[in-house]
Structure 1
Amino acid sequence: MVTREYDTIVIGTGPGGEGAAMKLAKAGQRVAVVEAHDAVGGGCTHWGTIPSKALRHSIQMLADYRRNPLFQHTQHQIEVEFPDLLRAADGVISTQVRTRFRHYRRNRVDVIFGRARFLSPECIEIKGTGGPTEQLRARYFVIATGSRPYHPPGLDFTHPRIRDSDSILSLQNTPKSVTIYGAGVIGCEYASILSSLDVKVNLVNNRDRLLSYLDDEITDALSYHLRQQGVVIRNDEAYDHIEADSDGVVLHCRSGKKFKTEVLLWANGRTGNTLDMGLEEIGLTPNQRGQLEINASYQTAHPHIYAVGDVVGAPSLASASYDQGRFVGAHIANGNCDWSLIEEFPTGIYTVPEISSIGRTERELTAAQIPYEVAQADFKSIARAQITGHTVGMLKLLFHRETLEILGIHCFGEQAAEIVHIGQAIMSQPGEGNNIRYFTETTFNYPTMAEAYRVAALNGLNRLF
């Protein structure tokens, strides 16, 4: 058997793998990427970020159409099923795959399809679908295999009424009712999406509030608007067992509560894709969630084997994974990295409306006894929001009362995931560059949503005495 050799082999073509491969290719290394599926892009492109966000965009367009008085006479003629909305994402996925594959080819990165398994710390075996097995060797490896939905023991995910965040995308009709177990990012996003299609939704949360790591005011607003959309939220509930038959599926909670709906969406946790990779045989044992332990440079117990993205756990964001991949690529190419990853990543949650935040919350600042003030702008007072009709939401800045340093940015409303980056740029400035007065001394285009920063900053500074 002929063994091909490379400088670095990257296992996985999601954001983390792509970031590493591109950085290494630009550094002149001979690089190969290994993809277990039949197209590049990873779970982010095919089952996660891209399809769910494209679905959310279609839902938002439908909601805007229904709300617009110009189309009141035709609103009743529009009947959209869940699969119709999913098909709208197909074009985006195809374009993403073509673009990414072209990037690999243009940068002379070999793309190898098949499942990778370590035979030794320096050699992997690739098993293709119906093709021959081959061996590859490299000086360095980057494990960027991502994650998959966590499946608790004993729950039959082959039953057509029991779905996870991957298989929900293959629904062939719009269900009348859905119970979502797990109220993290995925659970909240799908609760928002499905309720916008007039699906009766039960959102069962095993914590005391939704997305408890976010600012309390933001999560209170999310809870309020989900309930306004008809979502039934049940906090502090724990799963006991599930019954499913041809008539429906029943979620039994330890409290004695029961939820019967057409479909159950299990959205409680994810597992790293490390199964059957031969990792234990070379001394790398994943934890109970399939994740690998790494050091500050993303090296595993074998310094030449790196791991990035969901397979190493939090923050489990596509944006962070890509940066981790680039960091690792620089570390491999140069022996070190002369730049460091930011400590605080912006969070984007694509509910309807969106949520985005970066920095600390009021709860954290209060616990740390940091003197802070709140600067806030309600979208209903912003001209651009009035024009677009997206007046629900707010921009909230937390800043130090004495230094005027921005400590946290929290946004709830349409385009929140875009708006947060304006504040992030100022928040990241060193020394006195991070100052809320920047927004009062800068001219913003009018009308724009960016103007909310000026309104919020003036509101906050007026609170000082």
Structure 2
Amino acid sequence: MPILMSIRPFDVVVIGTGPGGEGAAMKCSKADLRVCVIEDRTSVGGACTHTATIPSKTLRHAIQRLVDMRHFPGYRAATAAGPTFKELAQTAGSVMKKQSGMREVFYERNRVEVVEGRARFVDPTTIEVIQPKGAVDVLTAKHFVIATGSRPYHPPEIDFSHPAIFDSDTILGMVEMPQSMTIYGAGVIGCEYASMFRMLGVKVNLVNTRDKLLSFLDDEIIDALSYHLRDLGCLIRHNEEMAHVETLPDGVVMELKSGKRLKTDVLLWANGRSGNTLDMGLEKLGITIDSRGNLQVNEAYQTSVPHILAVGDVVGPPSLASAAYDQGRFAGTFIVEGRLEHKLVEDIPTGIYTSPEISSLGRTERELTAAGVPYEVGQAQFKSLARAQITGRTVGMLKILFHRETLELLGIHCFGDGAAEIIHIGQAIMSQKGEANTLNYFVNTTFNYPTMAEAYRVAALNGLNRIF
């Protein structure tokens, strides 16, 4: 029989300690509210730290370093065998531990109590937290923030307990390096893992249910990504849908509706995610959950029950750790001050960690053309930059879209090494008003040489040459 603990009151209870939950908790705590966070893992950080962003990007870095070493003549013989996949994946362990430990200190320093267990609403102002050893903690609060994140979507007809079938959470636990892999789903996660495993020499089938990769990106960036994935040796199959998955002793066969049969050593399912809202007691409060487990919120991140807010992946796109933290902070601002800051996150940079990286901000050429905006393009090819020539990472480009008449910056798109870092220079200028947000800033600014930042000046001058 569960042990019931005494009822404890708080001003704010945050469910989940990923970026969204952390942002909300810290904002409320700094306003001297009594805050508690609930986490069902043994350590804080959420999926971002333990299964998604941090481990996958650490793995990518380890793979990139291995590939770099293998291309350096002095190390070819020494690295011929190379580490196992398990050893590569374990490099993420130390980073995850550091990140989680750092965040535990944040909560302690800001006097935010951390309760381990699974949360379930008893009524609109009360939740019970079932702790690992069976004790039940009962908490009340004036406000709640649901920041439970998401998990990989699992179609019921696929046996995810089979040792050759993985999702983006379990793939890091794979022990042996496969010779071949089918990745079903060519979204951000699918494309990132396709490039990683191709760098390791794995034969990859990337199955895309749509007619192009990452259709929210600028068309030129999409074309560049498709070209370089194929150049790596990745076989991309567009407009395909799964019909059936058959497990065998020596692998997996995916049969597509087109009649194709793809037999590989392993299957990585990367087609969608589901919000973590199962068995939280939300339905009885009148909070609607969609077919993928996501919650609907307004501009203040309120659910249909006004004092219960939700942020991060559990509310759907953009499903970015960076956006989730801001959403949490803005939800906290609404709780503390009653005002909205939603407008501050309208232009969010997209960072995609394929090889090379992709980062994008603002509108695409397709969107500007549809809207009838008179724009022009400025480009800087990385192969022309001294810094890229020095590092040997010459694949890629920076692309600036700007208004032909006012020179206002309308979009920035980058493909190549360090793209997710490079984009922030353009982001800072695009956030300015009037003359400060024009191509002239890059033309009239002296950049360190040689740097990748110099691409902005090169692209700006290239764009001006098209209109004068």
Question: How would you bin the TM-score normalised by the shorter chain?
Answer: over 0.9
CA distance change for structure 1 residues 364 and 339 in 2, over 3 Å: closer, same or farther? closer
Aligned partner of 1:55 in structure 2 is 59
Q: Which amino acid aligns with 1:330?
A: T
Match for residue 6 of structure 1?
10
Shift of 1:75: 4.4
1:236 lines up with 2:255 in the alignment? no
Superimposed CA distance per residue, residues 12-39 of structure 1 (whole angstroms, 9 cap, x where no aligned partner): 0000000000000101000000001111
Corresponding residue number in structure 1 for 2:69:
65
**Percent identity over the alignment?**
64
Are 1:444 and 2:453 counterparts? no
SS of alignment partner, residue 345 of structure 2: coil
Q: What residue is the counterpart of 1:160 in the other structure?
A: 163
User: What's the offset of the Cα at 1:131?
Assistant: 3.4
Partner residue in 2 for 1:399: 402
What does the per-residue CA deviation read over 1:236-259, in whole Å, with 9 as the maximum and x for residues that have no partner? 001111001212101111111111
Distance 2:89 2:274 in 1: 25
- What is the identity, as a one-letter code, of the residue corresponding to 1:394? M
**Equivalent of residue 252 in structure 2, options 249, 252, 267:** 249
* Residue of structure 2 in register with 1:196 after alignment: 199
3-state SS of the aligned residue for 1:2? strand
Give the conservation status (yes or no) of the 8 Å contact 1:375–1:456.
Answer: yes
Deviation at 1:11, TM superposition (A): 0.1
Task: Tell me what 2:327 maps to.
Answer: 324
Secondary structure class of the residue paired with 1:212: coil
Deviation for aligned residue 1:344? 1.6
Aligned to 1:260: 263
SS in 2 for 1:341: helix
Equivalent of residue 437 in structure 2, options 434, 438, 442: 434
CA distance in 2, matches of 1:19, 1:46: 18
Deviation per residue, 1:34-81 (Å, 9 max, x gap)? 0011110000100000000001111111122122344345443x4122
TM-score by length of 2: 0.98
2:143 paired residue number: 140
CA distance in 2, matches of 1:339, 1:201: 40
CA distance in 1 between counterparts of 2:437 and 2:351 reads 22
* Equivalenced residues, count: 464
Of 64-73 and 454-463, deviating more is 64-73
RMSD (CA atoms)? 1.1
Q: Which amino acid aligns with 2:393?
A: H
The superposition leaves residues 207-245 of structure 1 with CA deviations (integer Å, 9 ceiling, x where unpaired) of 001101101111111111111111100000011110012
SS at match of 1:440: helix
- In 2, are the aligned partners of 1:327 and 1:340 still within 8 Å (CA)? no
What pairs with 1:17-416 in structure 2 (closer than 5 Å)? 17-72=21-76, 74-76=78-80, 78-337=81-340, 340-416=343-419
Runs of 4+ in 1 over 6 A off after TM superposition: none
Change (3 A) 1:394 1:114: same
Aligned-partner Cα distance in 2 for 1:63–1:387 = 18
Distance 2:179 2:106 in 1: 42
Is the 8 Å Cα contact of residues 327 and 341 (structure 1) preserved in structure 2? no
Counterpart AA for 2:207: V
Residue by residue over 1:266-316, the C-alpha shift from the partner in whole angstroms, topping out at 9 and shown as x without a partner, is: 000000000000011111121101011111100011110000000000100
> Which whole-Å deviations, capped at 9, do the CAs of 1:315-353 have from their partners, x for residues lacking one?
000000000000011110112246742212100000011
**1:369 Cα deviation after fit:** 1.2
Alpha-carbon contact 1:161-1:263 (below 8 Å) kept = yes
* Aligned AA (1:219): I
- The answer for unaligned runs of 5 or more in structure 1 is none
Q: Does 1:460 align with 2:457?
A: no
Deviation at 1:428, TM superposition (A): 1.0
Deviation at 1:164, TM superposition (A): 0.6
Deviation at 1:368, TM superposition (A): 0.9
TM-score of the superposed pair, with normalisation by structure 1 = 0.98
Query: Does the CA contact (< 8 Å) of 2:299 and 2:342 recur in 1?
Result: no
